[in-house]
Structure 1
Amino acid sequence: MPLKRTTRAALTLGLVAGASALATGAMAQDCTTKIGAVLPTSVDWGRPIAEVAQFAVDQVNEAGGAAGCQIEMVLRDTQVDPKVGVDAAKALVDLEGVKVLLGAVSSGVSMPILTSVTAPSGVMQMSCCSSSTAFTNLAAEGKTEGLWFRTFATTAVQSAVAAKIAQDQGYKRIAVLYKNDDWGQDMARLIADDFAAVGVEVTTSVAINDAQPSYRAEVTEAIATQPDALYLALYPVEGTSAVREWISLGGTQNMIVANSLKSDEFRDNVGLEFLGSTLGTDTASPRAESADAFRAKYVERFGSEPNGPGLANSYDAAMIALLAMEAAGPDASGADIAAAVARVTDPAGTPVSADAAGVAAAKEAFAAGGSVMYQGATGNVRFDGNGDVSAPAVVWSFAESGISEVEYISLDEVNDFIASLR
């Protein structure tokens, strides 16, 4: 099935003659191509992820769209629920005819979408925020059909940085509470190995299920092991409930949290006064000019700093997918678009910025048969053969104004520390 294109009028000789003006966004296209997005807009930290993806779409449309058409991003809410996410993805693929799908947030939502919707349908899926190593294994087995990419580093990075925090803080015994899904299970497995590698004992590892009225039993089990600290691989809703129970039962305020809790909602609902000893992990944009440029564009557009989880990754996911559509050309299949990602992230390609001017430059390079080196919000993105990326990392803490960076760890330092753990 070709990309869904809505023709409004036949192309005229005058429009063809104005192709160069079109490339700068000076003229409007006579067709629209839809892409899909499945993101958790019903949660406070999910809405900005969707908004920044739309921002990338707007930048591409300003430069003339992709593959000759303006882009419409059709957005569906996943509610961070696998069934809801699969239903949303199926509607976008089967009814809207999209060949590119952005999303999802949470490996537990992205995995069933990949295995039951996008891969069987030949649709390219580009996730900003799914980190489970299960995707790496699936790709290595050839089961993603080359259609899967993610702009967020795997859980191995966050697990290693958590081990570094535990080592630096002198913790010896840590209890783990993890979300009972693909992502949380992956984190719990990696954390156990990485903590052991730095001499930290995991006293217990307890699964947390969604939508329970109380997590007192799980928290009581963890507290009974008398840990020095608590590690949390949870999302804000269940994370808030579990930490409230933990604090009320006298648990230590020494906590290490995954980036999923890098949320104003979590901070405000728990209370900053109980989070003063909490340190978080996250991947980070490199200290590069392109990352600074994204930050400036984000502040100009939204009036705040891009402090939430996944924002830079969401922008790059959308931009790379759209540039791949441009490189693949009109009526390309999902597989064609996926194959064209290599022309967008070619180390030997023409450097292009992540904005309308960069899109226009990329159009010229593709038209001449060349490739580009995309320089985006997370730097010069490089995908390996499994659709994975590497990234620097940060240690952060909660502050009244949002998030405070405690330590930046370069990509080389991250890779060296991971190697030391192995």
Structure 2
Amino acid sequence: MSGLRNMALALGLAMGVMTLGGAASAQECTTKIGAVLPTSVDWGKPIAATAQYVVDIANETGGVAGCQIEMVLRDTQTDPKVGVDAAKALVDLDGVQLLLGAVSSGVSMPILTSVTVPAGVLQMSCCSSSTAFTVLAEEGKTGGLFYRTFATSGVQAAVGAMVARDEGYKSVAVFYKNDDWGQDIGKLVAEDLESLGIEVTAFIAINDAQASYRAEVTEALKDSPEAIYMALYPKEGTQVVREWLSLGGTQNMIAANALRSDEFRDNVGMQYLGNFTGTDTSSPRTDSASAFVDAYTARFDGPPNGPGLANSYDATMIALMAMHAAGKDASGSEIAAKIGMITDPNGTPVTADAAGFAQAKDVLDGGGSVSYQGATGNVLFDKNGDVSAPAVTWGFSEGGIDEKQYISLTEVNAFMSSLN
């Protein structure tokens, strides 16, 4: 992320705090919500700033259930233990009934099982994609307290396999982060590649904080794959790619959205990324999605190019609208029970801005339901708290990140059905 963008985000957060403080002084009560997000990494800061942006919007309309909202933000450092400790502090000390986060499935899962479900707190994640959450919900172990606005790993895995097919690769080595997220998407993409008749020559787990990944890379090079697939974060992704290239590996690379990072691009070098293709879920091509891009650009002096920003916006909007519907001092389960009233296809359509938030409150106060038209489209959760989504492929350029192809929800679903 450029220095200018960092400054813009820092200014946005600072102004958010100022706005919140000024509004709260005119309000008789304040309700705290928690956020556990990786603000110590470059791509995590804008996710948190986006959530704060929504809090500011809600407060501009007079708050939620008559109270101003204060978002208490704690850094997870993408570390499960740090994330759990942060979540416990927010629940036990700050008494939050709503927790936004986390980003990584490997952090969200232990928070869910050891903190939010036992405490009866609603957990709304913008960016956790593991299908393990779906299994947990189907087993009745989430208590209806987990929702996410990011599609499951199955979408990105399928699109990764689609890229390999379209590029004509006959063999691919898979590197995956050795956590819940990486294990899940790595397994899925390997299955999808094999369904297409593409050989998976290696399936390599990458652990955190190793000084070198030369042994893992050497193992993956044994069968000379035509391409590599990476479900890694920027730090270990950079190390793996450097080792890979230094040992003569191909520049044909496919990656999940966690590598959608200026840090990764700059540390690897554009000269090595000409044949790199990333995947991500996408907002649909709708008026509401375009309106979000315009509003975000005006707020932060730049478009929402990082991962999870539209998802963070919608997760926070939906959760705060549900809090309003549940009323002052509502429990996590009571807030969760109102989410269906915010995403009702037959409800009153409301936009994802201050005017829409104010309208939603009026409708909800009158006993009605709303159909939230958000940054990711008309959000609709299934019984497990999951959503589906269109997808994009993308690549790096000197100016940032450029979209290569948009794949509609219909096309995504059709391709995934063909694999099954």
What's the TM-score bracket when you normalise by the shorter of the two chains? over 0.9
Structure 1 residue 26, shift from structure 2 partner: 12
Alpha-carbon distance in structure 2 between the residues aligned to 1:391 and 1:66: 29
Amino acid at match of 2:382: D
CA contact (8 A) 1:39 1:75 kept: yes
CA contact (8 A) 2:24 2:30 kept: no
Please name the residue that 1:12 is paired with.
none
Please name the residue that 1:15 is paired with.
none
Alpha-carbon distance in structure 1 between the residues aligned to 2:289 and 2:362: 23
Amino acid at match of 1:288: T
DSSP-derived class of the 1:359 partner: helix
CA contact (8 A) 1:128 1:314 kept: yes
Please name the residue that 2:6 is paired with.
none
Match for residue 348 of structure 1 among 343, 346, 349: 346
Alpha-carbon distance in structure 2 between the residues aligned to 1:205 and 1:118: 33
Alpha-carbon distance in structure 1 between the residues aligned to 2:282 and 2:347: 24
Alignment identity in percent?
71
Q: How does 1:53-72 map to 2 (within 5 A)?
A: 53-72=51-70
Alpha-carbon distance in structure 1 between the residues aligned to 2:290 and 2:88: 37
Structure 1 residue 217, shift from structure 2 partner: 0.4
Residue 29 (str. 1) matches residue 65 (str. 2): no
Residue 88 (str. 1) matches residue 79 (str. 2): no
Alpha-carbon distance in structure 1 between the residues aligned to 2:186 and 2:395: 22
Please name the residue that 1:264 is paired with.
262
Alpha-carbon distance in structure 1 between the residues aligned to 2:29 and 2:186: 47
Please name the residue that 1:363 is paired with.
361
Q: How does 1:181-330 map to 2 (within 5 A)?
A: 181-330=179-328
Amino acid at match of 1:398: F
1:362-396 residue CA offsets vs partner (Å, 9 max, x unmatched): 01101110000001110000000000000000011
Structure 1 residue 27, shift from structure 2 partner: 9.9
Alpha-carbon distance in structure 1 between the residues aligned to 2:275 and 2:58: 43
Task: Give me the TM-score of the superposition, normalised by structure 2.
Answer: 0.94
DSSP-derived class of the 1:125 partner: strand
Count, aligned residues = 398
Match for residue 160 of structure 1 among 158, 161, 165: 158
1:5-45 residue CA offsets vs partner (Å, 9 max, x unmatched): xxxxxxxxxxxxxxxxxxxx999421100000000000000
1:159-215 residue CA offsets vs partner (Å, 9 max, x unmatched): 000011011000010001100000111012101110011111100100000000000
Please name the residue that 2:170 is paired with.
172
Unaligned runs of 5+ in 1: 1-24
Please name the residue that 1:338 is paired with.
336
Alpha-carbon distance in structure 2 between the residues aligned to 1:59 and 1:50: 14
Structure 1 residue 318, shift from structure 2 partner: 0.6
Alpha-carbon distance in structure 1 between the residues aligned to 2:361 and 2:225: 56
Alpha-carbon distance in structure 2 between the residues aligned to 1:67 and 1:239: 44
Root-mean-square deviation (Å): 1.0
Alpha-carbon distance in structure 1 between the residues aligned to 2:358 and 2:95: 26
Residue 409 (str. 1) matches residue 407 (str. 2): yes
Alpha-carbon distance in structure 2 between the residues aligned to 1:29 and 1:366: 21
Match for residue 120 of structure 2 among 114, 119, 122: 122
Alpha-carbon distance in structure 2 between the residues aligned to 1:331 and 1:348: 28
Structure 1 residue 83, shift from structure 2 partner: 0.1
Amino acid at match of 1:178: Y
Alpha-carbon distance in structure 2 between the residues aligned to 1:89 and 1:28: 29
State the structure with more CA Rg.
Answer: 1
Unaligned runs of 5+ in 2: 1-22
1:308-348 residue CA offsets vs partner (Å, 9 max, x unmatched): 00000001111110000001111111000001000000000
Match for residue 102 of structure 2 among 89, 101, 104: 104
Alpha-carbon distance in structure 1 between the residues aligned to 2:80 and 2:65: 32
1:394-413 residue CA offsets vs partner (Å, 9 max, x unmatched): 01111111111110000011
CA contact (8 A) 1:107 1:130 kept: yes
DSSP-derived class of the 1:207 partner: strand
CA contact (8 A) 1:27 1:64 kept: no
Alpha-carbon distance in structure 1 between the residues aligned to 2:108 and 2:276: 28
CA contact (8 A) 2:148 2:315 kept: yes
DSSP-derived class of the 2:161 partner: helix
Alpha-carbon distance in structure 1 between the residues aligned to 2:338 and 2:29: 22
Alpha-carbon distance in structure 2 between the residues aligned to 1:271 and 1:304: 23
Task: Give me the TM-score of the superposition, normalised by structure 1.
Answer: 0.93
CA contact (8 A) 1:61 1:70 kept: yes
1:73-97 residue CA offsets vs partner (Å, 9 max, x unmatched): 0000000000000000000000000
Alpha-carbon distance in structure 1 between the residues aligned to 2:136 and 2:276: 34
